């Protein structure tokens, strides 16, 4: 199935207890599309400045990621962010956020993208997410991310988005904030009433929960010893999930469970190095090996 990914493209500077990386590529659409590429080609929509590395545009081509919806504003700069992670990786401080080309971004979906079937709304302003959906009248399957910043600042728009999507993927803190419930299972019940049939709550190193109507699938994270940088892990999770669904064209509960395990596996690779270093150089064998390892870690034998 044809995947369209709308999200951010950025230049990140990152410090973690295990090192740092300056001016490396980041952004939700970058991570989502690279993670999905192991299962399915995709199309990306967003905006970058003239400083966006040309080798990444080349990488997109190699990975069958269509860039005809990627606007390049040559005389401006790409969205830039710098963050410092604390010892436990669960909290981070933002040093700066420069919106740059992103400030006036309004997604324009090219004609050639309008037959996209799986629409991925990366974590951007819900107003922009709605603009995307207005341009694609009958999407088959819409998967959406959001964050506390939008939940606090644009709750009405977030709630409008929720009525138009199939899957919401958020983390545990966002789920609590959106639902005003402290217990994740109560939170999920409330969020599903806002619209989506499927909710995935990510819990970082503690795994994730898939709520598919009345069904629940609870999985731990893949065990990782050498966590270098958590940036992009949630987006790789998103990309692995939609990539697998696109490849299999099967939205059954059983296949959603498989998709979320692939999501988990892609996220596990992402955190092992800074930026896209690890996620751009995987093989499908490595991914499948980790999938099988995961099954051994969670099955009753």
Taking the C-alpha atoms of residue 294 and residue 298, their distance in angstroms, rounded to an integer, is 6
Nearest to 138 by CA among 122, 159, 117, 157: 117
If phi > 0 it is left, if psi is from -120 to 50 it is alpha, else beta; for residue 77 that is beta
Question: Does residue 254 bind its own copies (CB under 8 A)?
Answer: yes
Among 216, 250, 281, 288, binds its own copies (CB under 8 A): 216
- Minimal distance in Å, beta carbon 297 to its own copies? 5
DSSP assignment of 144-199 equals EE--HHHHHH-HHHHHHHHTT-SEEEEEHHHHHHHHT-SSHHHHHHHHHHTS-SEE
- Quick one: which segment of 7-15, 38-46, 215-223, 270-278 binds its own copies (CB under 8 A)? 215-223
DSSP state of 33: H
Q: How many CB atoms lie within 10 A of CB 229?
A: 26
Task: Return the SS3 of 226.
Answer: coil
User: What is the x/- site pattern for its own copies, positions 88-127, by CB under 8 A?
Assistant: x---------------------------------------
CB-wise, 133 or 266, nearer to its own copies? Answer: 266
DSSP state of 221: P
What residues pair up with 85 in beta bridges, in sequence order? 92
CB-wise, 284 or 301, nearer to its own copies? Answer: 301
Q: Looking at residues 176 to 205 of the shown chain, list those that interact with its own copies (rule: CB under 8 A).
A: 182-186, 203
Half-sphere exposure of 244 (CA within 13 A, CB side): 24
Both tokens assigned to 115: 């037959």
Q: Looking at residues 35 to 54 of the shown chain, list those that interact with its own copies (rule: CB under 8 A).
A: none
- Minimal distance in Å, beta carbon 291 to its own copies? 11
Among 93, 253, 288, 289, binds its own copies (CB under 8 A): 253
How many residues of this chain interact with its own copies, rule: CB under 8 A? 33
CB-wise, 67 or 258, nearer to its own copies? Answer: 258
Taking the C-alpha atoms of residue 15 and residue 48, their distance in angstroms, rounded to an integer, is 23
Q: Looking at residues 255 to 284 of the shown chain, list those that interact with its own copies (rule: CB under 8 A).
A: 257-258, 261
CB-wise, 72 or 218, nearer to its own copies? Answer: 218
Task: Return the SS3 of 262.
Answer: helix
Question: Does residue 207 bind its own copies (CB under 8 A)?
Answer: yes
CB-wise, 9 or 262, nearer to its own copies? Answer: 262
Nearest to 259 by CA among 99, 138, 157, 141: 141
- Minimal distance in Å, beta carbon 148 to its own copies? 17
CB-wise, 62 or 88, nearer to its own copies? Answer: 88
The answer to whether the beta carbons of residues 45 and 132 sit under 8 Å apart is: yes
- Minimal distance in Å, beta carbon 258 to its own copies? 7
Among 218, 248, 251, 272, binds its own copies (CB under 8 A): 218
Q: What are phi and psi of 217, to 5 degrees?
A: -130, 120
Question: Does residue 298 bind its own copies (CB under 8 A)?
Answer: yes
Question: Does residue 57 bind its own copies (CB under 8 A)?
Answer: no
Residues that bind its own copies (CB under 8 A): 87-88, 182-186, 203, 206-207, 209, 215-220, 223-225, 227, 253-254, 257-258, 261, 295-301
């Amino acid at each position: 199935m044809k995947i369209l990914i709308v999200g951010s493209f950025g230049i990140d500077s990152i410090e973690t207890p295990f090192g740092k990386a300056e001016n490396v590529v980041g952004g939700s659409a970058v991570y989502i599309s690279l993670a999905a590429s192991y299962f399915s080609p995709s199309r990306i929509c967003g905006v970058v400045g003239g400083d966006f590395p040309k080798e990444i545009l080349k990488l997109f081509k190699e990975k069958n990621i269509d860039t005809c919806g990627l606007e390049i504003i040559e005389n401006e700069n790409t969205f830039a962010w710098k963050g410092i992670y604390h010892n436990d990786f669960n909290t981070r401080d933002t040093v700066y956020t420069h919106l740059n080309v992103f400030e006036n971004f309004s997604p324009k979906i090219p004609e050639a993208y309008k037959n996209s079937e799986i629409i991925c709304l990366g974590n951007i302003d819900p107003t922009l997410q709605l603009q995307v959906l207005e341009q694609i009248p009958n999407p088959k399957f819409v998967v959406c991310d959001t964050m506390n910043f939008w939940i606090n600042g644009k709750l009405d728009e977030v709630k409008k988005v929720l009525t138009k999507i199939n899957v919401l993927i958020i983390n545990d803190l966002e789920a609590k904030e959106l639902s005003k419930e402290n217990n994740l299972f109560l939170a999920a019940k409330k969020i599903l009433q806002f619209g989506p049939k499927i909710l995935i709550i990510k819990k970082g190193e503690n795994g994730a929960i898939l709520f598919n109507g009345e069904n629940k699938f609870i999985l731990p994270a893949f065990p990782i010893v050498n966590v270098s940088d958590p940036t992009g892990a949630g987006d790789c999770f998103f990309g692995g999930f939609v990539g697998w669904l696109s490849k299999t064209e099967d939205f059954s509960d059983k296949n959603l469970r498989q998709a979320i395990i692939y999501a988990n596996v892609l996220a596990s690779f992402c955190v092992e190095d800074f930026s896209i270093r690890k996620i751009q150089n995987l093989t499908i064998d490595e991914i499948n090996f980790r999938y099988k390892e995961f099954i051994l870690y969670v099955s009753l034998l």
